[in-house]
A and B are shown apart, each in its own frame.
Chain A
């Protein structure tokens, strides 16, 4: 199951407004028996595949449920107490946060640079759109295969290029100090295309007159970029940063695949979801893994709330 796309704000300015006629305020209509029937299919799936596991997971976190047994016992807060003192939880949580911190800035800045270049470059728009966005369409396993191959000590592309300029070989994925950065670089290559599209759409919404007026005033290109483009894009930037941070916090797929499931040397590239996977499925401890899942849930909610706060304050000030 993958993250659903961004939930946008319920505002009136979105493009769905292209439907003819004015929007009418919701009116209370008479009670309609068709409503529940129409909602039923989705509500049923929602209940079975979201609510049930969500509640079951909470309950399971208070039991010693295991993958190898059918019965399980209530153990109270034992899992939660263990979690509080588990250094692997702290390490994996830190790995997740560190990954978020090191990948978010390049994923935002490079996307912006790509969008601006695409906007300004003449005649090669589709080439750039394809080049920048195509990696996003690759399945994660393909991305991992390619990058593990690129990082290969001995005969990989990166080390080959380094060797040709006289720099010694680095075991990118085999060294505790570089493994997370190496995965981060592959991630930037893979997913920057999505942010790029959001920026591109936003840039196309800036009327040309704004720039023309600035040009007449004698503003230079850099000036126009920092004083006009960037401020006009700040809402998009806020959205991109927000989406990106939540996405980076969900690191698992490429970290798992690029370290062959090991989490890297000394687990230096095992994110919190990796730890959930390891305890639940490799370690067979469904109960404990459920507790760790809820910790992760709490982190996501907390980060979202903080961002929501910052976001609304900024909006209010604008």
Chain B
């Protein structure tokens, strides 16, 4: 969780050019989209924004905020960053319960239900959003659907982020696993992938691939969904044991056969990829700037097809309006206007690896030109969101429980059967816990 590097420098090469191009595009879009209604207000509107972004994402958000502030002198934007995960969501819930501490916040879409859509989180006025051109038709459909609870829109999706494959071009070229275009060759099925990893391992001398073994939920859910597995967490636990075991067994195999390290934690995984002990990495797309800044020659593509499809687990950062104790139309209007501006300018955000949720940006030429984002941009359409429950989602309790039992499959302290039993027991216990929602 701690970032050891000081201020991340702006991305070099194509990233910087994209940055500038994005800036120009954004300026144009903003000129067109600036709502006159908001500017008509006398005095400045205070807009308190909460987020959980530090590191590269934090720096990008600051850059966007600086531009937003420059373009909106009538809005007094006051962003606050809290520590990612539970500390943020705790403050979020308490602030929303108090009903007066902030006007708009970022949220993992997977946490929407768990944080009280309808109680702690107010609905987004669709008409207001539509004034800015943000509608069902201009936002990634799977996210829009997830943001809708009981027919009401509760969140404005900002991006998609998901587990993808990173590959070291130099290593992969030596291993002969690049295609004619210099991209990592696509594989089909577990055996093809394992063969490829073995060839990469022969080059590195250590491992073929690294992945965060302390965050195995992401890998598990990707594989399980590739098999078409369903997980229901309502009343009775519904899980397909065979498919779950098959997925866990794959994690066991890569580690046991020495193709992946038995233990590699969240900060250690990108470090391991960077220092070359493996040629491939499974990780979230948000690690992208780290390697770009380091000047690595690397490429990215979707999560590999192990069980029939290139599906990867992911989530979405979204904007939500916290519950307010006292009605304040002006604040809501400013908040919605801000979110719309952020969506329209999300090409900057895309520089950090996230895929924009706003379709006009996601389908723009600027975005198509971004490398290595182009290697996985379509994966966002099929992102595998977490199962639905008040305790699921990013930094949620189900994820934590799953990570804790599944780490054992990688390091050999638990068989897939044991891990599955542990996961089912933990999940059932969460299901039996009285829902606070």
Contact = CB atoms under 8 A, between A and B. Distances in A.
Interface of A: 64, 66-70, 75, 78, 82, 154, 260-262, 266, 277-278, 281-286, 288
Contacts of B436: 64, 66-69, 283-286
A284 B434 contact: no
Given A68-B93, A69-B437, 17 more contacts: A66-B436, A68-B115, A68-B116, A69-B119, A70-B119, A261-B83, A261-B85, A262-B86, A278-B86, A281-B90, A281-B94, A282-B90, A283-B397, A283-B436, A284-B116, A284-B436, A284-B437
Contacts of A154: 4
B7 interface: no
A78 B434 contact: yes
A92 to B, nearest CB: 15
Interface string B1-15: 110100000000000
Contact of A68 (B2, B83, B120): B120
Interface of B: 1-2, 4, 83, 85-87, 89-90, 93-94, 97, 115-116, 119-120, 397, 404, 433-434, 436-437
A67 B434 contact: no
Contacts of A69: 116, 119, 436-437
5 contacts: A68-B115, A261-B85, A278-B86, A282-B86, A288-B434
A262 B90 CA distance: 12
* Contact residues of B: prevailing secondary structure: loop
B350 to A, nearest CB: 28
A109 B186 CA distance: 66
B4 A67 contact: no
The 9 closest A-B pairs by CB, nearest first: A68-B116, A66-B436, A261-B87, A284-B436, A68-B119, A282-B90, A285-B436, A281-B90, A67-B97
Q: Which of A69, A78, A154, A261 is the most central at the interface, judged by chain B CB atoms within 10 Å of its CB?
A: A261
Q: Which of B397, B433, B436 is the most central at the interface, judged by chain A CB atoms within 10 Å of its CB?
A: B436
Contacts of A262: 1, 85-86
Contacts of B94: 67, 281
A176 to B, nearest CB: 12
A69 B404 CA distance: 31
A261 B97 CA distance: 20
B93 A260 contact: no
B124 to A, nearest CB: 18
Nearest to A70: B119
A154 B4 CA distance: 9
Nearest to B397: A283
A104 B154 CA distance: 50
Given A281-B94, A284-B93, A284-B116, A66 B86 contact: no
Nearest to B90: A282
Contacts of B83: 260-261
Q: Which of A261, A281, A284, A285 is the most central at the interface, judged by chain B CB atoms within 10 Å of its CB?
A: A284
Contacts of B120: 67-68
B389 to A, nearest CB: 13
B325 to A, nearest CB: 12
Given A67-B93, A67-B120, A281-B94, A260 B87 contact: yes
B1 A281 contact: no
A150 to B, nearest CB: 14
